Amino acid sequence: MNKRATFSNSWLAAALLLPQLLLVFIFFYWPSGEALWWSFTLERPFGGGNEWVGFYNYLSVLQDSRYWGSVRVSVIFAIAASALSILLALMLAVFVDRRMRGHQILKTGFFLPYALAAPAVGLAFRFIFAPDAGLIAGINRVFPGLWNPALDGNDALTLIILAQAWSLVGYNFIFFLAGLQSIPRALLEAGAMDGAGPLRRVWDLQLPLLAPTLFFLLVINITDSFVNSFGIVDIVTSGGPARATELMVYKVYTDGFQGKDSSLAATQSVILMVLIMALTFVQFRFIERKVHYN
Amino acid sequence: MTGIELRSLRKTYSGNDVLHGLDLTVTPGEFLVLLGPSGCGKSTLMRMIAGLEAVTTGDILIDGRRVNDIEPRARGCAMVFQNYALYPHMSVSQNIGYALKVAGVPKAERQARISAVAGSLALTDFLDRKPSQLSGGQRQRVAMGRAMIRSPRVFLYDEPLSNLDAKLRVAMRLEIRRLHQKLGTTTVFVTHDQVEAMTLADRIVVMNAGRIEQVGTPSEVYQHPQSTFVAEFIGAPGMGLVDAIADPKRGVLCLGDGQEVRFDAARWPDLPHGAVRLGLRAEEIGITAHPSAHTVMARVELIENIGPHRHAHLSLSGCNLIAQVPNDFALQSGAQVAIGFDMAALQLFDPATGRRHAGQNVPLAERIAATV
């Protein structure tokens, strides 16, 4: 049966589509096109004229060791934050799925971080992990200088990884919980009858059956770490110290809006865009061929 | 061989009693069927034996050892689940061998035992397939293989045949019975299908609303149901029940519409004057063309063709009865017919409690011989 609405009047259909198309065009295709154009030109900082330079911008970006530094930091950030967040979310979901005491309240509690805006998360982490007044201040008093994100690049990177992982836990948790609850209880009972203890059942039965969810979340988390980390980085470290936390998306911002080099920023954003498209492609391919049991 | 003993076993879910203190002994090597309508607690009872449900009060003993607080894996039971519960990401051989893998059995021995079990279940050609590539009957056999491979002390079956089509169900029923004959392992089998229970069981436990109504061999349960519940539940069709007032002095049962049935009062020497319920099976009711002092009149409501014979649905003094009628016997719905009963098979129940009036189980002919 054809469930689509059909319009005999194609003008009406066009009119109904127009607002959405306009929005997408103005806020997505136009800027993207502009960025693509700028990446092949040298743009004046305050507008007014430009000069076609071909692949000059791409060459200078790709030959810049500072750019590769930001790629390195971004990859570490994306993988570490995704892995940490997925691991935590999986643990929480397994606990909630076992219906331990208070699981109803915890379920809501674990999801809440997802509702927070990235800058708010960043600010909270900045205060909580402040070297002189935060949670770690006590340890710092015993071992002076052990933890200082404002001076130590590794500490700073760790801090934004923690913040990003924490803000993604809620989202991952909900997916894992839904996945776990869709596994028939009889399967786990059969596992118990076969002699597998709770941990063994997680490892042998629940994890393999969660594989599709796991893969989906991994792609989503990595994508999110590449594009949505601006808020956290800007508030917590502003890319410092000494560019130790200058993620690709943050470098676009600093080069473009602080360095006023629109062309270089546009080039980097095009590269980032291609990367995200590749990830999205992987994800779509995967969802189409999603592993189905039964 | 392993026996199971349940001692005043109770199960409560959030304040509601699901099982009201059951006592039951499963003798070693026995094939015991728990039979009852859905919600009677039979599956809960089995899951408690397996260790998948906690015991509220009472004790479960397997081989004389109290197992209330023992993990399922340590109880020595293997279970076949209603939806098979096969591991969808594992092949047939991995499914069957999982228990051995968990137990740390070396790979070579594992393979040997898997192929032995698969061979006995005709699964050898499917060992590398995933459960999703199997038919219902094959999945069922994998589930049985998974239970068999551990050489368990007790087999537990939780309505294992209810997802199969009718023909396959009969075939698998035979296979389960054959397996039991071969291995002799103590078996508890849950079903709501009384035909399954009758054909499989050494003894049947009929359950209703969290209580045991009757425990007995299939023929005991069929011929001497201890309560109206069992009478109506067992048999296809169940026993027909007719309300009457017993007058033991005159030796008659007065039906509601004024008709009277003579009965053998000597079989129930202690029967009080008052309300009783007659229980009669379809094959014990005969329709005759010749009304007499030994027959009563009933109305034919409906005729069902079964194949080997027909079932006539009768209305006798406002109660429903089913009589078995030969195919060649001329009968029309709506007709008034004379019916007679096999009085030796007649059962009487107390309408207030639903329990059977025991009476003496001496066949009529012998008692007549004794009085003469």
Residue-level pLDDT at B361: 62
**So what CATH class is A63-290?**
mainly alpha
Whole-angstrom distance, CA of residue A154 vs CA of residue A161: 10
The whole-angstrom distance between A170's CA and the closest CA on chain B is 28
Q: Is the confidence at residue B370, as pLDDT, over 60? A: no
A198 and chain B in contact, CB less than 8 A: no
Average pLDDT of B282-301? 88
Q: What is the mean pLDDT of chain B?
A: 89
Average pLDDT of B104-117? 93
Q: Is the confidence at residue B249, as pLDDT, over 80? A: yes
| Strand, coil or helix: B25 | strand
The whole-angstrom distance between B97's CA and the closest CA on chain A is 9
A10 and chain B in contact, CB less than 8 A: no
Domain residue spans in chain A? 63-290
User: What percentage of chain A carries pLDDT values higher than 70?
Assistant: 95
Q: Pull the structure tokens for residue B326.
A: 């030969």
B88 and A204 in contact by Cβ < 8 A? no
> What are the pLDDT digits (tens) for A160-210?
999 999 999 999 999 999 999 999 999 999 999 998 888 999 999 999 999
Q: Is the confidence at residue A47, as pLDDT, over 80? A: no
* Residues of chain B neighbouring A194 (CB-CB closer than 8 A): 73, 98-99, 102, 146, 150
B79 and A193 in contact by Cβ < 8 A? yes
Q: Is the confidence at residue B80, as pLDDT, over 90? A: yes
Residue-level pLDDT at B66: 92
Q: Is the confidence at residue A294, as pLDDT, over 50? A: no
Tell me how crowded residue A30 is: count the other CB atoms within 10 A of its CB. Answer: 11
* Residues of chain B neighbouring A195 (CB-CB closer than 8 A): 73, 99, 102-103, 150
Residue-level pLDDT at A147: 80
> What are the pLDDT digits (tens) for A261-274?
888 888 899 999 99
Structure letter (DSSP) for residue B292: -
Which of B85, B86, B98 faces A189 most closely, judged by CB atoms? Answer: B85
Q: Is the confidence at residue A26, as pLDDT, over 80? A: yes
Average pLDDT of B175-202? 92
Cβ atoms B356, B349 nearer than 8 A: yes
Q: Is the confidence at residue B327, as pLDDT, over 60? A: yes
Higher-pLDDT residue of A115, B300: B300
Size of interface A-B (CB pairs under 8 A): 67
Tell me the HSE value of A79 on the side-chain side, using a 13 A CA sphere: 5
Whole-angstrom distance, CA of residue B214 vs CA of residue A192: 32
Partners of residue B255 on adjacent β-strands: B244
Whole-angstrom distance, CA of residue B130 vs CA of residue B133: 6
- Quick one: three-class SS letters along chain A? CCCCCCCCCHHHHHHHHHHHHHHHHHHHHHHHHHHHHHCCEEECCCCCCEEECCCHHHHHHHCCHHHHHHHHHHHHHHHHHHHHHHHHHHHHHHHHHCCCCCHHHHHHHHHHHHHCCHHHHHHHHHHHCCCCCCCCHHHHHHCCCCCCCCCCHHHHHHHHHHHHHHHHHHHHHHHHHHHHHCCCHHHHHHHHHCCCCHHHHHHHHHHHHHHHHHHHHHHHHHHHHHHCCHHHHHHHCCCCCCCCCCCHHHHHHHHHHHCCCHHHHHHHHHHHHHHHHHHHHHHHHHHHCCCCCC
pTM of the shown model: 0.79
Q: Is the confidence at residue A16, as pLDDT, over 60? A: yes
Question: CA-nearest residue of chain B to A199?
Answer: B102
Residues 6+ apart with CB under 8 A from B320: B240, B301, B313, B314
Average pLDDT of A239-261? 84
Q: Sign of dihedral through CA atoms B195, B199, B200, B204? A: positive
Q: Is the confidence at residue B50, as pLDDT, over 60? A: yes
Lowest mean pLDDT among A2-6, B67-71, B320-324: A2-6
Q: Is the confidence at residue A75, as pLDDT, over 70? A: yes
Tell me the HSE value of B123 on the side-chain side, using a 13 A CA sphere: 33
Which of B50, B83, B146 faces A184 most closely, judged by CB atoms? Answer: B83
> What are the pLDDT digits (tens) for B137-166?
899 899 999 998 988 999 999 998 888 888
Structure letter (DSSP) for residue B356: B
Which of B77, B81, B89 faces A186 most closely, judged by CB atoms? Answer: B81
| Contacting A residues, span 115-154, partner chain B, CB-CB under 8 Å | none
Residue-level pLDDT at B363: 56
Q: What is the mean pLDDT of chain A?
A: 85
Residue-level pLDDT at B150: 86
ipTM of the complex: 0.81
Q: Is the confidence at residue A293, as pLDDT, over 70? A: no
User: What percentage of chain B carries pLDDT values higher than 90?
Assistant: 57
